[in-house]
Chain A
């Protein structure tokens, strides 16, 4: 491969990474708050809220993500006769799937906070909302950082699954390029790109954990 071809490949793959990053960010943007909301509902004392959420968690965690991607891509067409863009379908599928995992991470974090924290806040007169956002959530965030870091890194790699519904992300572009240029280099380059993204994610979580190290 010539230097020029290599240079072109590099820019091409960088652009494809843009789509990967886009899916990653939108999944987090929607999935993280949704996961928290679902976690709160999952812990509700009302079965009418709790049980449907349990079913949602079972479906999302119990069926293949690749199948969910196909479902959200094609179901709108078969059910209501309209379609949404492939990227939107991918983001929707990733969001709903990852929110289920985020929910369980939040829930284990919330349940690990000693009951005394909530009781002390109650005695001091904090409302339920104040107690949650001022006392519980900050401590939960510290506790869920390590499992969240894992989840973020898996998400970076899972974005490759979006290729099954024809989203032009890094993996798809790499395989296309491989057959076009009859070279293994695109695959290696894609691997390096994923690796760099996850190195950044890992570093960011390391920094966040350090920042919250001031208390235990």
Chain B
């Protein structure tokens, strides 16, 4: 059974069609990587799934709740209560972390569990400390974001997302803002999350990582899904667009 169901989703910015009739099913617990060149609509897809953007057409169902449905060409979003429920089930890790600079690491993580999910301060703090330990940041709880390296910042932002116990976690190029030597520590952390059996959709340019971690890989090009298959299928694809994209990657990584 799908935990994320996307049917015929369309998104335009003015005249620019960024998502063209995207359909995708994600099974519960599945780990999916989304690859594709810059401007192909990967971020926009995640932003539509997390309601940072509204779609121009199509249907999105998340964990049984319909977020948006299109009848007679008009997308209609669910009631606020349903949207709120969906919100609690999904998290998003940004490329630029977007940590709150005026809060300590600990408060960055506990603020939403306390003020959104209604947890007690003790409960939220204990959970935050457990997550910081898991992500190797136990000595950073009193630090401010400006005192962290990029890799540490991204790990804090992952902890912040995990603190709300989402069923689905979206990552938008979580290592693209990092130096190569810091990329590894963040990828290791994401890899360590696989034992939580959480559904993960990861937009990434780290091909080796995508190949190793994913159950499925989606290749997007100019707003359409060109490939949807196992890593073996996608990396062995005969499709010329796919081969060209992956070929560029092989060249640039040599």
Contact = CB atoms under 8 A, between A and B. Distances in A.
A130 interface: yes
Contacts of A122: 51-52
B100 A135 contact: yes
A116 B50 CA distance: 13
Interface stretch (B65-73, B108-116, B193-201): B108-116
A122 B90 CA distance: 11
A215 B146 contact: yes
A176 interface: no
Contact of B115 (A114, A134, A216): A134
Nearest to A125: B116
B4 interface: no
A116 B52 CA distance: 10
B58 to A, nearest CB: 21
Contacts of B219: none
Contacts of B161: 123
Given A125-B88, A215-B101, A120 B94 contact: yes
B84 A117 contact: no
Given A123-B50, A215-B101, A116 B94 contact: yes
A126 interface: yes
Interface residues of A, number: 20
Interface string A181-216: 000000000000000000000000000000000111
A134 B111 contact: yes
A175 interface: no
A34 to B, nearest CB: 25
A213 to B, nearest CB: 11
A134 B111 CA distance: 9
A130 B94 contact: no
A125 B101 contact: no
Contacts of B116: 124-126, 130
A116 B96 contact: yes
B160 interface: yes
A117 B52 CA distance: 12
Contacts of B36: none
Contact of A138 (B51, B102, B160): B102
Interface in A8-66: none
Contacts of B158: none
B94 A142 contact: no
Nearest to A212: B102
B159 to A, nearest CB: 12
A139 interface: yes
Interface in A107-126: 114, 116-117, 119-126
A119 B94 CA distance: 10
Given A116-B94, A130-B115, A124 B164 contact: yes
B112 A124 contact: yes
B151 interface: no
B89 to A, nearest CB: 10
B41 interface: no
11 contacts: A116-B94, A116-B96, A123-B87, A126-B115, A126-B116, A134-B115, A135-B100, A214-B144, A215-B101, A215-B102, A216-B101
Interface of A: 114, 116-117, 119-126, 130, 134-135, 138-139, 142, 214-216
Interface of B: 50-52, 84, 87-88, 90-92, 94, 96, 98-102, 111-112, 115-117, 144-146, 157, 160-161, 164
